[in-house]
Amino acid sequence: MARLVVVSNRVAPIDDKKASAGGLAVGLMGAMREAGGIWFGWNGQVSTTPTPLRMQEKNGITFATLGLNKRDYRQYYSGFSNATLWPIFHYRIDLARFDRAEYAGYLRVNTMLAQQLMSFLKPEDTVWVHDYHLLPFAQACRAQGARNRMGFFLHIPFPAPQVAATVPPHRELIRTMCSYDLVGFQTETDRQAFLDNLRAMPDVTVDGAGVVHADGHATRTGVYPIGVSPDLIEEDAIEGQEHSRLITRNVRGGRRKVIISVDRLDYSKGMVERFCSYEALLEANPEYRSRVQFIQIAPPSRSDIGSYQQIRKQLEAEAGRINGKFSDLDWMPIRYINKSYDRPTLMGLFRNAAVGYVTPLRDGMNLVAKEYVAAQDPETPGVLVLSMLAGAARELDEGALLVNPYDRIGMAEALQQALDMPLRERQERHAAMMRVLRVNDIDAWRNRFMSDLRQQ
Ligand SMILES: O=P(O)(O)OC[C@H]1O[C@H](O[C@H]2O[C@H](CO)[C@@H](O)[C@H](O)[C@H]2O)[C@H](O)[C@@H](O)[C@@H]1O
Ligand SMILES: O=c1ccn([C@@H]2O[C@H](COP(=O)(O)OP(=O)(O)O)[C@@H](O)[C@H]2O)c(=O)[nH]1
Work out the pLDDT band at 51, boundaries 50, 70, 90: confident
4-227+442-455 matches 230-439 in fold: yes
Ligand 2 first shell, C-beta below 6 A: 19-24, 26, 262, 264, 297, 299, 340-341, 343, 346, 365-368, 371
From the list 311, 348, 362, the residue with the least C-alpha distance to 236 is 348
Q: 8, 9, 18, 20: which to mutate for ligand 2, most atoms within 8 A of CB? A: 20
Work out the pLDDT band at 254, boundaries 50, 70, 90: low
Q: Which ligand is nearest to the CA of 340?
A: 2
From the list 356, 339, 342, the residue with the least C-alpha distance to 240 is 342
pLDDT tens sequence across 198-250? 999 999 999 999 999 999 999 999 999 999 999 999 999 999 988 777 766 65
Distance, CA of 210 to chain centre: 25
Work out the pLDDT band at 251, boundaries 50, 70, 90: very low
CATH T-level fold of 4-227+442-455: Rossmann fold (3.40.50)
**Is the CATH number 3.40.50.1360 carried by domain 230-439?**
no
- Ligand 1 within 6 A of 370 CB? no
* Average pLDDT value over all residues in the chain: 95
Atom of ligand 1 nearest to the CA of 226: 15
Atom of ligand 2 nearest to the CA of 264: 16
Residues 27 and 228: their CA atoms lie apart, in Å, by: 7
Domain residue spans of the chain: 4-227+442-455, 230-439
**Residue 20's pLDDT is what?**
65
**Residue 112, helix vs strand vs coil:** helix
Q: Positive or negative, the Cα torsion across 313, 317, 318, 319?
A: positive
- The predicted complex's ipTM stands at 0.99
Arithmetic mean of pLDDT, 182-200: 98
Work out the pLDDT band at 396, boundaries 50, 70, 90: very high
H/E segment holding residue 415: helix 408-419
Q: 26, 153, 437: which to mutate for ligand 2, most atoms within 8 A of CB? A: 26
Active site residue 155: yes
Active site residue 363: yes
Residues 85 and 87: their CA atoms lie apart, in Å, by: 6
Atom of ligand 1 nearest to the CA of 391: 19
Asked if residues 223 and 364 have their Cβ atoms less than 8 Å apart, the reply is: no
Please indicate whether residue 398 or residue 36 has the higher confidence score (pLDDT).
398
pLDDT tens sequence across 333-378? 999 999 999 999 999 999 999 999 999 999 999 999 999 999 999 9
Query: pTM for the full model?
Result: 0.97
Residues 274 and 296: their CA atoms lie apart, in Å, by: 10
